[in-house]
Amino acid sequence: MIEVFLVGFLVLLLLGVPLGFSMLLSSILYILTTGTLPLELVPQRVFQGLNHFTWLAIPLFLLAGELMNAGGITGRLVTFVQSVIGQFRGGLAYVTVVTNVGMAGISGSALADAAGTGSVLIRSMQRAGYTTRFSTAVVAASSTVGPVIPPSIPFILYATLAGVSVSQMFAAGAVPGIAMALFFMVVIAMLARRNGFPKERRRSWRERAQAFRDAFFALVMPVIILGGILSGVFTATEAAGVAVLYALVVSIAIYRELDVRQLPGILLTSAKNSAVILFAIGAAGLFAWLMTYSQVAAQLATVIGAMTDSPTVVLLLISLLLLFLGLFIEATPLIIILTPVLLPVVTALGVDPVHFGLVMVLVLMIGLVTPPVGMVLFITAGIGRTNVIEVARGCVPFMAAMIAVVILAVVFPSWVMWLPGLLAD
């Protein structure tokens, strides 16, 4: 019967049915064909999948990202970073990466980061003489740092499902997130030298000081959020509430770029984006339970155990599987579906659950910049007025950098695990 379950899911996906509905309908089909499970299981498992206090952080972080974009916080971050490093060849591309690192410390969402920095920087790069392919690709790729550097919505999902500390997951993402940004800068440097990208004029110290004063409250925001979480002052969910309140106060009372009349539209956009994610979470909760009920995890453990008993090889094989699945399914449902299936397999081999969660998220971020479902491709293509395939082609060198970070994280776990270990001590 498991074949009916999985084939039904794949057929619905190929027909273009939205992911949440594909999981829900294939699950109902499986329940009906088995004849041993009651239909009451559907609402029970969907509700149970959503019944986590930590999930409240998701709409709040998305709302914080929308407020930042509308309230001038993103724009001021861009201006400040541009004043510091814009004078190098390919300077606007470096500005994009560094700004997305700053945004990552606030929103936890690649989509919010891509929309925020893309709306400011893609057209600026086009006007400065960068190709549309490169302009959109550097924004798309650098936005994937957002869910790796804390706070991170995927880490919140995984930590809740795996029963590990959210703070430890956040700590695990900090170092590889910075590594991703540095690798992206190496790619930019190589492309800038080869293609003769333009430079920005060097800003005076007076201009830099003015840009710093203008961006001060924007720069303080990630310090408050990350410092509060990692020091234990507040939880990830409370941090999301603090982020919303801070962005609201700064945007309305200090920068005065956000009109109260804009709030209903911002709330509606955040609600729509949150509803899509939370519906997928609920449906994936049922889907994942049925996968466990059907003994998929046990069968998978048997297959992998017959192939190898090396934790490194197993993580590399799982990474290849996730890379393939990420081409067709978004990160959120994959985390919910596969965590209960794969986690027992890797922990039986002695893999730290925090390390596994980090590797999973790093691999799934590559799916954000690969067609046909890479959402940041659609966002940046829309802003740059180009097609998704063109953006994806531009992302290829950056994908190579992301794969390199994944391999390093799998083969040499100590460099990504020392910070969570320090936090645990």
Are residue 126 and residue 273 in the same domain, yes or no? yes
Q: Is residue 15 part of a domain?
A: yes
Q: Is residue 44 part of a domain?
A: no
Looking at residue 18, its amino acid is P
Domain range for 417: 53-424
CA distance 121 to 33: 52
Q: What confidence score (pLDDT) does residue 405 get? A: 97
Are residue 8 and residue 149 in the same domain, yes or no? no
Are residue 83 and residue 7 in the same domain, yes or no? no
Rg (CA), the chain: 21
CA distance 128 to 149: 29
Are residue 20 and residue 60 in the same domain, yes or no? no
Q: What confidence score (pLDDT) does residue 1 get? A: 63
Q: How many residues does the chain have?
A: 425
Are residue 84 and residue 172 in the same domain, yes or no? yes
Q: What confidence score (pLDDT) does residue 269 get? A: 87
Residue pLDDT, tens place only, 345-382? 899 889 999 999 999 999 999 998 988 778 888 889 98
Q: Is residue 47 part of a domain?
A: no
Are residue 69 and residue 200 in the same domain, yes or no? yes
Are residue 311 and residue 266 in the same domain, yes or no? yes
Q: Is residue 361 part of a domain?
A: yes
Going by C-alpha positions, the residue among 252, 263, 308 that lies closest to residue 63 is: 263
SS3 165: coil
What's the structural domain count of the chain? Answer: 2
Buried b (16+ CB within 10 A) or exposed e, 61-78: bbbbbbbbbbbbbbbbbb
Q: What's this model's pTM, rounded to 2 decimal places?
A: 0.85
Neighbours of 4 (CB within 10 A): 14
Buried b (16+ CB within 10 A) or exposed e, 390-409: bbbebbebbbebbbebbebb
Q: Which residue has the tokens 């606030």?
A: 106
Q: Is residue 178 part of a domain?
A: yes
Are residue 23 and residue 130 in the same domain, yes or no? no
SS3 352: coil
Q: What confidence score (pLDDT) does residue 425 get? A: 59
Q: Which residue has the tokens 């390093």?
A: 408
Q: Is residue 383 part of a domain?
A: yes
Q: Is residue 23 part of a domain?
A: yes
Are residue 173 and residue 198 in the same domain, yes or no? yes
Mean pLDDT per block of 10 residues along the chain (425 residues) reads 76 81 89 86 88 82 83 83 81 87 77 80 84 93 91 89 89 94 94 81 85 88 81 82 90 89 90 85 85 75 77 93 86 86 88 96 93 84 88 94 97 92 72
Q: Is residue 302 part of a domain?
A: yes
CA distance 120 to 117: 5
